[in-house]
């Protein structure tokens, strides 16, 4: 894959915020963007997040700022403030990082955040999700283009192994940092990385994982299309806070498609809701059984109330939970 063609993904977005930690992957992304033939047609800036989790991180972030400015980019040093959690630290650091990046993108008028996730990251993600029993969507891995809140999230380097990105830095003799947490076996990702050579000996190497991801992505796209068609056929009426479906249109759907129809509607009605796959599976199974038996059903899923009566399946916001006053700024559906 041609490195310059990879940046075609960025073309529709005038304002771009590059997430650069200082590792070889993100430094390579910055170098490629600096040399991009279409650079002049875009407003590009660089952001580095200091999570405050290890000594030296601040100095490294400041050094990235110097590198960025030397390449002609404005640089934004973002800090994760406040007390740090004692559990799920990488997950929560990731959430904080993307929150800071989204906020920065909005402040500078960038419509997209660009990260340097690469093929090795993709293989690790697929393996991690496989071990956690993920569904088809999860096994598809990271999408080249998705959303980060209000802005696009672009991953133009998913087709490149890490070795190619290290090579870009070495070819230009540009320095980079190595994050010691990548080898810290306190973290699940690092432990999984240690297993990769053993799994490769049994045939589960990065290429096999990437093939699995590509096939899962194709299956996911087909199922998404079928679910959208099934939803359109069964939908009786809807507005911004409610949807009602024809039970006959849902009754014979395979369970996977019924799950996806529910997920589409919950995402529409409550876009900030945290919808867990296991709970969605249980709810879809209960609805499928009720549709076939004709027994009424009432349940709550991701703060959406689902009701089945003979005249329809209705989804609408669930009543507020007792004893919980809404917080300022809360989405009432989450």
CATH code of the domain in which 162 resides = 3.40.50.620
Inform me whether the pLDDT recorded for 56 exceeds 90: no
Determine the pLDDT at residue 167: 96
Residue at 74 is within a domain? yes
Read off the pLDDT band of 183 (50, 70, 90).
Answer: low
Residue at 151 is within a domain? yes
What six digits make up the tokens of 109?
Answer: 């008028």
Inform me whether the pLDDT recorded for 331 exceeds 60: no
Q: Are residues 54 and 135 in the same domain?
A: yes
Residue at 328 is within a domain? no
Give Cα 169 to chain centroid, integer Å: 27
Q: Are residues 161 and 33 in the same domain?
A: yes
Residue at 212 is within a domain? no
Q: Are residues 269 and 190 in the same domain?
A: no
Residue at 333 is within a domain? no
Distance of alpha carbon 276 from alpha carbon 197, whole angstroms? 31
What's the whole-number mean pLDDT along residues 97-107?
97
What six digits make up the tokens of 255?
Answer: 């369970």
Q: Are residues 128 and 269 in the same domain?
A: no
Distance of alpha carbon 27 from alpha carbon 155, whole angstroms? 14
Determine the pLDDT at residue 106: 97
Q: Are residues 223 and 173 in the same domain?
A: no
CA nearest neighbour of 16 among 43, 48, 47? 43
Residue at 246 is within a domain? yes
**263-320: pLDDT as tens digits:** 999 999 998 888 899 999 999 999 999 999 999 999 999 989 999 999 999 999 998 7
Determine the pLDDT at residue 115: 98
Residue at 330 is within a domain? no
What six digits make up the tokens of 110?
Answer: 């960038």
Q: Are residues 166 and 305 in the same domain?
A: no
Read off the pLDDT band of 329 (50, 70, 90).
Answer: very low
Average pLDDT, the chain: 91
What's the whole-number mean pLDDT along residues 74-86?
89
Residue at 194 is within a domain? yes
Q: Are residues 139 and 197 in the same domain?
A: yes
**304-321: pLDDT as tens digits:** 999 999 999 999 999 876
pTM of the complete model: 0.86
What crossing angle do the helices spanning 277-293 and 255-269 adopt, rounded to 10°?
A: 120
Read off the pLDDT band of 325 (50, 70, 90).
Answer: very low
How many distinct structural domains can be found in the chain? 2
End position of a domain, from candidates 151, 171, 204: 204
Residue with tokens 């006053």: 325
Q: Are residues 92 and 197 in the same domain?
A: yes
What's the whole-number mean pLDDT along residues 147-156?
95
Q: Are residues 140 and 182 in the same domain?
A: yes
Q: Are residues 265 and 300 in the same domain?
A: yes
Strand residue runs (E) in the chain = 15-19, 43-50, 74-79, 112-114, 145-148, 151-154, 235-239, 242-245, 297-301, 304-309, 312-317
* CB contact at 8 A, 265 and 273: no
Inform me whether the pLDDT recorded for 324 exceeds 60: no
Q: Are residues 194 and 227 in the same domain?
A: no
Q: Are residues 171 and 256 in the same domain?
A: no
CATH number of the domain residue 245 falls in: 3.30.465
Q: Which residue pairs from 234-241 have beta carbons closer than 8 angstroms and sit at least 24 positions apart in sequence? A: 234/261, 236/312, 240/269, 241/269, 241/316, 241/317
* CB contact at 8 A, 78 and 50: yes
**Domain of residue 263, residue span:** 218-317
What's the whole-number mean pLDDT along residues 178-198?
77
Determine the pLDDT at residue 1: 61
Strand order in the sheet with 312-317: 235-239, 242-245, 312-317, 304-309, 297-301
């Amino acid at each position: 894959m041609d490195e310059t063609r990879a940046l075609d993904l960025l073309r529709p977005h005038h304002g771009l915020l590059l997430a650069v930690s200082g590792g070889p992957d993100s430094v390579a992304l910055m170098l490629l963007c600096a040399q991009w033939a279409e650079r002049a047609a875009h407003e590009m800036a660089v952001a580095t997040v200091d999570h405050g989790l290890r000594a030296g991180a601040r100095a490294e972030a400041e050094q990235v700022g110097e590198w960025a400015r030397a390449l002609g980019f404005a640089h934004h040093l973002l800090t994760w403030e406040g007390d740090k959690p004692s559990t799920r630290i990488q997950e929560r650091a990731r959430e904080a990082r993307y929150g800071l990046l989204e906020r920065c993108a909005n402040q500078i008028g960038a419509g997209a955040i660009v990260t340097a996730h690469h093929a090795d990251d993709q293989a690790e993600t697929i393996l991690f999700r496989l071990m956690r029993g993920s569904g088809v969507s999860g096994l598809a891995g990271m999408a080249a283009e998705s959303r980060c809140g209000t802005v696009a999230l672009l991953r133009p380097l998913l087709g490149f192994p890490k070795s190619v990105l290290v090579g870009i830095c070495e070819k230009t003799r540009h320095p980079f940092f190595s994050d010691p947490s990548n080898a810290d076996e306190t973290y699940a990702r690092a432990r999984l990385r240690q297993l990769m050579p053993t799994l490769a000996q049994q045939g589960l190497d990065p290429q096999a994982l990437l093939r699995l991801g590509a096939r899962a992505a194709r299956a996911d796209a087909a199922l998404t299309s079928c679910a959208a068609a099934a939803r359109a056929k069964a939908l009786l009426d809807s507005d911004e806070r409610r949807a009602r479906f024809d039970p006959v249109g849902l009754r014979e759907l395979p369970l996977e498609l019924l799950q996806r129809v529910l997920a589409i509607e919950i995402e529409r009605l409550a876009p900030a809701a945290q919808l867990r796959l296991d709970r969605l599976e249980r709810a879809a199974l209960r609805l499928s059984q009720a549709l076939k038996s004709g027994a009424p059903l009432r349940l709550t899923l991701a703060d959406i109330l689902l009701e089945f009566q003979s005249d329809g399946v209705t989804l609408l916001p669930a009543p507020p939970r007792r004893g919980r006053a809404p917080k300022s700024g809360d989405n009432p559906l989450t």
